Amino acid sequence: MSTIINRTFPGFFPSNCPTDSKEVDVEPVYRLVESNTIKAKEFIPSGIRKRSYLEGDCEALALSVLGSKDDIPMAYRFFSSMGLSKKDKVAVGIITKDSGRVSFDKSKNVGDSHINWWTYDGIQPHTFFNNVLQIGVDI
């Protein structure tokens, strides 16, 4: 697990991002992924990956995870319908309070346990996950 250096966000985050968030431990958390193994590239927030053409969207700088296993089927069905059917596996991990800030953003599409997780500068989110489950087999 990464060593926490400081509690600041990368310089390209908007100044007021994130708002309404807190440092908190959450365990376990689940994230839809494509690969059978934990790969760093699947844990890069969209807003960071798309920084060359997308700006100003704070939510895009957070990782989407679920706090409840029960919401996984619903989230999978919804994202599959929207063209994300390749994400048919779930990485299981934790969020620690010194890794970043979270907001519990209930989603009508993917479930009440949806969480946005903004990680501090230097944090590598994939290192907080250690297991991958197959939807329809393990869950």
**Angle, alpha carbons 49-139-34 (nearest 5°):** 25
Query: What is the strand order of the sheet 129-134 is part of?
Result: 100-104, 114-119, 63-66, 26-33, 89-95, 129-134
Cβ closest to another protein, residue 11 vs residue 56: 56
19 binds another protein (CB under 8 A): no
79 binds another protein (CB under 8 A): yes
What's the sign of the alpha-carbon dihedral 29, 103, 46, 61?
Answer: negative
Cβ closest to another protein, residue 5 vs residue 50: 50
d(CA 133, CA 139): 7
45 binds another protein (CB under 8 A): yes
Residue type for 13, please? Answer: F
Q: Give the residue, chosen from 26, 33, 38, 62, that forms a contact with another protein under the rule CB under 8 A.
A: 62
Q: How far is the CB of 77 from another protein (least distance, A)?
A: 9
**Contact letters (x/-) for another protein, 109-128, by CB under 8 A?**
xx------------------
Cβ closest to another protein, residue 8 vs residue 81: 81
